Structure 1
Amino acid sequence: MSRVHLRKTLLVVLAVAFLAGLIGKVAFTGTEDPTKLNAVKVATAPLVDGDSGDAAWEKATEYEIPLGAVKTGIKAVYTEKDLFILASWNDSTFSIVRGGSWVWDGNAWNSKREGQAEDRIAFFWPINIPDFQSKGCLVKCHPSYGVSGAFLDNPGEKGDMWHMKAARSLGVISQSQSGSPVIGDDHQATAGTFTLVGYIDDKYVTYEDAANLPEDGGRHGDSGSSTYGRNRNKDKTAPLYLEKNPTDYLDAMILRESEVDNGETVEIANATADEINEYWGNYQRLGAVVPERILREPSDSRADVKQAGTWSNGQWTIEIKRALDTGNDDDVQFSDLSLDYLFGVSVMDNAGGDTHIFSGVNSLLFVE
């Protein structure tokens, strides 16, 4: 099916759903609606640790979102102050290798990992986008503009984007692995259990003039600093830092500012060839590469959305926490619990934002 035909078909399906009353804002009834993601109020919040075993999640009904061959299930609960989302989907590989990750060949560094990106899931919430009810995430997708194609068509419009990035935001706080990891030649895992705790990369999307697009189109980081910086020198010929003795595969694949500050790394510019060969040998034994990013704590509005995720033997499970009302104008606010809140979901399997599977229009409904 051509992209144009697919787009037209999706728009027809969404229009029919709208006419049937399946999307939009409705008055609060306190009763669950099986056509929506029902956020159930709980007295005790779930712990955001990548484990879905909390009692709070047993109170919520799973909402299934069809994303092609990807089976995606979502639950939601809330407290007086916070919204929590649990999402799970099938993915045969744990992918945390970015295209700019580093490999040492004994003489020079190479950072071209063709076809590699990272696993991701993204939630898009319209703040003031009237056409979202009929078009869903297509309001911001303009594939013909490539990586700059995420922007809105009308001045004054804005949407909130929560983006889980397995390599760049998910492991900011901690990481661990267990089981019997199997790491392939492409540095992806096909077995094992990997848990990471960190943040969603919180951004917003606005209108941009299609004739004069910036590199990121209409995507902007929320106010404050992000969860990552570059691990490369000014000449882009080598990483800045290399861990001396990573304890396991996931430790090698995640590099934090705190590890640099604690002396767990060597600065490549000041390292001898023997040191580089020795430390790179540790990466080789673990099946790892040197990550292209250095992770750090985000700040201000960019730190609004906390998350934790676990990939275990072909299944992703993530937990998300955000305040119902952050008070920031770059965020969607869940301040009126009598309304539905529309959203879209997309999943990227070791892929960039221009290659993703996206849902139609979904509704979040708050119930007691």
Structure 2
Amino acid sequence: MAQNTYISLNVVPIGANVLMEIDGLADEPIWQEAQSINVHTIGGANFVDGQTTVTIKALSNKHETFFLFTWADPTHSLSHLPIEKVSTGWKVVENGFYEFDEQSHYEDKFAVMLSKTCNSGADGTAHLGKTPFHDKPSNWHGKGYHASVDNKVRDLWHWKAVRTNDMILADDNFIGPLTKVLSGQRRYSAGYLPDGKESGAYVMNWLWYSPNGVIPKRLPKDALYEGDIIPWFGSKPYKKDDDHYPIGTRLPSVLYRSNRFEGDRADVRARGQWKNGQWTLELVRKNMTPSVHDVALEHGTCMWVSAFDHSQIAHTRHNLAISLKYIL
């Protein structure tokens, strides 16, 4: 591997008895002592000049690896496609969601990709343009697809400030080979898929999406509810007779069907905190998992990071991989 294809991140060893709280505060003394690297990322919607620098630290107790990511984000974005009461019913508040490229009414997010190799173009998984694969559907937004055309799996952790943060998780996904096109499928995901799960889910709080209007699945039991998500047990099935909300009322669109994921999709614990124009995100995962969709955390594993500022897919990016160097 050529020397200029990656930058190194030292993973500092810690004892198994060192208590690490995944709370997004990073107030453990060991974090203050750990070495850090800065990765300049570009091309993201809504960031100042589309750029933000991500500061990264890593620790490992030989069983798990802990990561600390911080990045500048001037806006704390927790409004995820709210639904608004209008004269004809309810409508999704959006500015690009119909093309799967929402850049206004979306939550902040952060993504981490892992691979066994450090090649450019996100290790060959980024395929740009509206129709990068001639035998597959064009994408709606014109930006491209993620897929592993070499049939090797890349791990992808997707932390979401509304949908997964209260679960204390990042959504454990993967990039694999191109999937089959399903009949009636409006959004083709190429090789980007979630890991399997045994239970737990968040869903959108509407029956069928239409830019012209939606019918909510559930309404909060508390008519003055002001949370970022609607909990299942704090809500009731939608009935038109119960819909007394005045025009202009906005409700969250994210509905928790249970508290959190269980199974492979819950392998990555994560918690973020926003303060004074900066996100601080802590993540931890076991170095080895039994999942075929996970990449081992070990010496030489390659990593890429991306930040999203209230955008659905328009994230920042960087070219050189980050190579994990476990210090013995």
TM range (shorter): 0.7 to 0.9
Aligned equivalent of 2:122: 136
Whole-angstrom distance in 2 between the partners of 1:167 and 1:73: 22
Aligned counterpart for 2:194 among listed residues 221, 231, 242: 221
| Preserved CA contact (<8 Å) 1:307 1:321 | yes
SS in 2 for 1:306: strand
Superimposed CA distance per residue, residues 281-315 of structure 1 (whole angstroms, 9 cap, x where no aligned partner): 9xx6xxx6322443631121101001000011311
Alignment check: 8 A CA contact 2:156 2:175 kept: yes
1:149 to 138, 145, 150: 145
1:87 match: 69
Greater fraction helix: 1
**What amino acid maps onto 1:300 in structure 2?**
G
Partner of 1:177: none
Q: 1:126 aligns with which of 108, 115, 123?
A: 115
Post-superposition Cα deviations, 1:252-299, rounded to whole Å, max 9, x if no partner, equal 11223xxx22xx32432265243x34xx99xx6xxx632244363112
Shift of the 104–134 alpha-carbon distance from structure 1 to 2, 3 Å rule, reads closer
Aligned partner of 2:276 in structure 1 is: 313
Deviations for 1:130-168, whole angstroms, at most 9, x for unmatched residues?
A: 5x42433553333324367111222x2211101112222
Pairs within 5 Å for 1:43-122: 43=15, 44-68=18-42, 69-99=51-81, 101-105=82-86, 108-114=89-95, 115-122=104-111
Number of residue pairs matched by the alignment: 291
Q: Determine the structure 1 residue equivalent to 2:47.
A: none
Cα distance per residue 1:36-64 (max 9 Å; x no partner)? 21111112142001101112212311111
Residue 239 (structure 2) pairs with residue 239 (structure 1): no
**Paired residue for 2:157?**
162
Preserved CA contact (<8 Å) 1:46 1:57: no
The letter for the 2-side match of 1:49 is D
Question: 2:306 is matched with which residue?
Answer: 346
Q: Residues 246 and 46 from structure 1, CA distance in 2 versus in 1: closer, same or farther, beyond 3 angstroms?
A: farther
What are the within-5 Å matches in structure 2 for residues 172-211 of structure 1?
172=167, 198-208=168-178
* Cα separation, partners in 2 of 1:42 and 1:209, compared to 1, 3 Å: closer
For 2:26 and 2:130, locate their aligned partners in 1 and report how far apart those are by CA, in whole Å.
39
2:14 is aligned, of 42, 53, 61, to 42
Quote the Cα distance in structure 1 between the aligned partners of 2:225 and 2:33: 36
Whether 2:228 is the aligned partner of 1:253: answer yes
**Which residue is 2:251 aligned to?**
289
TM-score normalised by L of structure 1: 0.71
Relative to structure 2, which stretch is displaced further, 264-273 or 67-76?
264-273
User: Secondary structure of 1:171's partner?
Assistant: helix
| 1:5-51 residue CA offsets vs partner (Å, 9 max, x unmatched) | xxxxxxxxxxxxx63x2547xxxxxxxxxx42111111214200110
Return the offset for 1:226. Answer: 5.9
Equivalent pair of 2:155/2:294 in contact (CA under 8 Å): yes
User: How far apart are 1:351 and its partner, in Å?
Assistant: 1.1
- Check conservation: 2:80, 2:252, Cα contact below 8 A: no
Counterpart of 1:118, as a letter, is: E
Cα distance between partner residues in 1 of 2:318 and 2:158? 15
Q: Report the identity percentage.
A: 21
TM-score normalised by the chain length of structure 2 = 0.79
| Residues in 1 aligned to 2:75 and 2:225: alpha-carbon distance in whole angstroms | 18
Quote the offset at 1:318 in angstroms. Answer: 0.6
The Cα RMSD (Å) is 2.9
Letter matched to residue 97 of structure 1: S
Q: Structure 1's 235 and 47: CA in aligned 2 closer, same or farther, altered over 3 A?
A: closer
Structure 1 portions without partners, runs of 5+: 1-17, 25-34, 173-197
